Amino acid sequence: MKKSLIKTTAAFGFALLALNVYADQNSSMKKGSMEMGASKGASLGTNEAVVQGVDKAGKAVTLKHGPLKSKTVEMPAMTMTFAVENASFLSAVKEGDKVKVTIENVENQPTVTALTVQK
């Protein structure tokens, strides 16, 4: 009887220990993902890119960009032509410029909604 009680208590103790470790890991993962989300939120929408081409007549700019993330757009790194919300953005840039851009879906089309040239 005594051995059985000791074995049961030991098994129960190990189960509690395992559950506690699992809970700590899960809590750390959630905390880490919240921290990552907060840091992403700080830069959400602003993305670095390099201008590959400017089409003033077509009101578009070709950008080589890293992964994009904004409120309405998320895509991997690539080179792509984007419409611009404001044609005046195009007078400020030339091929080879490093820029910071915000890209959002406007009428179901990824569109540059903000653009600043980096010096």
The amino acid sitting at 106 is V
The predicted structure's pLDDT at residue 69: 86
Q: Which residue has the higher pLDDT, 28 or 104?
A: 104
Give the chain's domain count: 2
Considering the chain, what is the average pLDDT of its residues? 78
* Rounded distance between C-alpha atoms, residue 5 and residue 13, angstroms: 12
Residue 110 has pLDDT above 70, yes or no: yes
Whether residue 39 is found in the same domain as residue 60: no
Q: How far apart are the first and last CA of the chain?
A: 80
Whether residue 24 is found in the same domain as residue 53: no
Which range in 7-11, 22-26, 29-33, 77-81 is most confidently predicted, on average pLDDT? 77-81
Whether residue 55 is found in the same domain as residue 108: yes
Share of residues in the chain with pLDDT > 90 (%): 55
Domain that holds residue 19: 1-43
Query: What would the pLDDT profile of 13-71 be if each residue is shown by its tens digit?
Result: 555 555 565 555 554 444 443 333 333 333 456 899 999 999 999 999 999 999 998 88
The CATH number linked to 63 is: 2.40.50.320
In contact, 104 and 71? CB cutoff 8 Å: yes
The predicted structure's pLDDT at residue 15: 59
Whether residue 90 is found in the same domain as residue 62: yes
Sign, Cα dihedral of 52, 115, 98, 42: negative
Burial level of 113, CB count in 10 A (0-12/13-18/19+)? buried
Whether residue 36 is found in the same domain as residue 77: no
